[in-house]
Structure 1
Amino acid sequence: MNIEYRFSQVEYEQYLHSLKQYFNELEIECEQNSDHIYFQITRQYATELQAYLGDKLFSKSSNQKSILSSSDRRATKYLDFVEAYRLVRYQYSRYGQFKRSYTEAVYSSFIAEVLRYMHEHVHSPLHIMDAGCGPSRLSYEFSTIFHNAQIDLIDYSIINLFFAWRLISSGKDVSVPYRIFNDNWKEDGDDTGLLHIKAKNNTNTNLIIADLSSLQWKQPIALYDLVVSNHALNLLHNPKQVIESLIDQVKTGGFIIISDLLGWKENRPKARREFPDGKAFYHFFNNNSRIKVIEYFSGGPYCEEVNSERIDTYVNHFIVLQKL
């Protein structure tokens, strides 16, 4: 597993220090709960990831200030196995043993829309970016469909990228824990099950750790034939700026395809409410002279959290853009 870091040197050192802090705390927690399947499997994954990181993780000074303060909820959330497990479950459940997913329409429709505009290029040596990829269900499909393409997976979370690599390239199947509710609950008190997902062994992906909010692009601009982003921009404090940066990276005639959620919880900072509704979302793109809106629609629901007693749903917004 080869990973490229797109940080400044200071940010890079701080990132690794924060990761080391997390792993140290996680090891204590796993040791204290060593008889629980959740912590057993988490320890296995953490050990594997640390082995790939090697000396990088432990070579920095212990007095280095962490980039992730306890108040930085977003950053802390995305350097955490709990969040990565949740994303893997919601993105890949259709491939699990239960063959059931409440979010599959988002991913299947995204892939279908990409093929509508890119079907003539499935054998071409395309360059594709998956921006804010998470564990990257989209590239799980694209790595096979566009088998001659090079796909750059960009995410802030090394743990998300680890699972993307495991699922797309390692050939080692993935099992992630989930909570058991109601009639499936076990009387012995063990409320954890495992969702099993078959991995691929495709080698046409590159892993890049970066913060889209502040990413400085190293390569020449206008490099990509296709940029995709699914449910990532709404997490940023400056999505409009990031979108402009993504447009820079697309070749003339290339496509940018975005799917996102615009709703927010009441405690979301005002600075992260760039798009209050679908109308504002559409008009931002339609008024941009560098791109053409090919298609826009919204619908859903996208089920963000689901169990037998609870469903949280959002409207999903989808837009296809072509660079002029």
Structure 2
Amino acid sequence: MIRLPTGVLYAISAAFLFGVSTPFAKLLLEHMSPVMLGGVLYLGSGIGLLVIRLHRDKRWVSPGLPKSEWPWLIGAIVFGGCLGPVLLMLGLSQTSGSSASLLLNVEAVLTAVIAWIIFKENADRRIVIGMIAIVLGGVIVSWSSAAMEGTNGTWQGPIYIVGACLCWAIDNNLTRKVSASDALFVAGSKGFAAGFVNCSIALSLGFQIPAFSTLFTGALLGFLGYGLSLVLFVLSLRHLGTARTGAYFSTAPFLGAAVSIELLNEPTSLLFWLAAICMAVGVWLHLTENHDHTHTHEPLEHSHPHRHDGHHEHEHEFGWDGAEPHIHKHQHAPVTHKHPHYPDIHHRHEH
């Protein structure tokens, strides 16, 4: 029996929350415009995560983000929270929803390509084939509806949507650079930025603020499907790296479709089950990966929740009660060893 690594559980849970939120969001479209709904979902995410963070810390606490990481976070917010949503809304105005769903699968591909080529993240043949199988499953899920509905726009709509996917792919890779920091702060900041941008667009286009009950429902859905999902995504980046997290998250279209079958009584088809097989094969290839070789850890200083293990054998300059996991700034001394590993925050070495 395969024991799921922590990072995989985070990624699959993030995909589940995001995928399940899609059919519920579809129901809310009966009461507000897509642009306003996007803003409400993101604002619900940002506000909900802020409340949790304040409750956790009992007050406002500085995120403690190192100066070197602020440019990465700001870049992630600009690309993922501002540019991405705007391009998506422009694309949706000229493209059918089914075709847009098909095109959104490009995000996983671009995320992996940027991670492998620009950020030099490790990718062996097994991982590449697994990622292709998972993305292919997402394409098939979307294709089944796209084939029936067709398109109702021009070539400009798809280009805008692909542009949004590129922005979110850049966002995913930049977020990986700050994945060791407070996930609640990282995800909450992106939620506030995206919510502000989308709501501003909606109001500028003349859309009205929905009734309070609808507003509250949308915000709650955003907190769960966007906020908590993004927190789990960031935690997965910390454990698995960008390409693998993006691949697992690509199961979201299938999970959303599965819920739609029950919630909206949508029929299944041969394509649906073919997609399920493709995704199952891809996930199995990733779960059975065994990346094991001698590698060297360079000196590193950072702060994140950790236990004292083979990568955390440091002394404490403060009174420590022995509780684990615990969080504080700590230094890693150079070490060379061999063990199975993922490209997590401690294994971003060259191959």
TM-score of the superposed pair, with normalisation by structure 2: 0.27
Higher helix share: 2
